[in-house]
Amino acid sequence: MKKIILPSVFLMFATLLFPEKKKINIWLCGDSTMSIKETKSFPETGWGMPFVYFWDSTITVFNKAKNGRSTSSFRNEGLWKQVMDGAGEGDYIFIQFGHNDEVPTKKTYTTETEFRNNLKQYVAEARAKKANPVLLTPMARRKFNAAGQIEGTHDVYAQIIREVANEEKVPLFDMDKKTQALYQQYGAEPSRLLFLQVKPGEHPNYPEGKEDNTHFSELGARLLAQMVLQEIREQVPELSQRIYTPVKK
């Protein structure tokens, strides 16, 4: 008599040979260049918005970034607590600040020393939750000189992030340098396409037009999300294996 192998046995062996991947959460902590936008702000788009669509079913992205936040206000308003309350072992916490920390005239201003200490505290608290912190330098602003060369506007605070990442042995995505290179590749005028730049009467949300060299268009946000994904492919192998790849027919 032939033995019948029950489906449950097949499932058991399949589970042993191909164990199910542990589900991982990615937490995005940052400012308006990353955040989810309201409909009234369209076509302004934070890079965290398209970022969510690049993953397989084992990844969930929680975008906690908010407009105008700094390392200090993100904590003071309870946003960091939300991340800490939700994050678990093996999660990844992406931390990208600087835009609002570095401007002395803003209420969110933090001194260089405060900024450094805030970053170190974020890293320590993420690790205490057995989560994996990742530091990102700010996305560059679009600023070209008369010769058509891109100029940095985050030099001091971006360098602090680089130093903290090195000291704390944390993965660093140097988006300030990489986005500057992207804008330079496009050139002074074509790079406008990457930003929230609309002419008067071109969009109902901005009847008088808008020329914004900090916040991104849909195209710009998507390209920046893809650049972050490239950093993940190069530096975070556990996550790179979970980037969605369409099945070829």
| C-alpha span between 202 and 9 (Å, rounded) | 63
Strands (E), the chain: 24-30, 59-63, 92-96, 132-136, 172-173, 195-198, 210-216
Q: Catalytic annotation on 211?
A: yes
Q: Catalytic annotation on 215?
A: yes
CA–CA distance from 105 to each of 10, 101, 111, 121, 151 (Å)? 65, 10, 12, 24, 21
Q: Catalytic annotation on 203?
A: no
| C-alpha span between 214 and 196 (Å, rounded) | 8
Which is the catalytic residue, given 77, 211, 234, 238?
211
Residue 214 is given by DSSP the state E
Which is the catalytic residue, given 32, 73, 191, 217?
32
| C-alpha span between 206 and 208 (Å, rounded) | 5
Which is the catalytic residue, given 154, 191, 215, 231?
215
For residue 140, which of 223, 62, 234 has the smallest C-alpha distance?
223
| C-alpha span between 195 and 121 (Å, rounded) | 32
* Residues marked as catalytic: 32, 211, 215
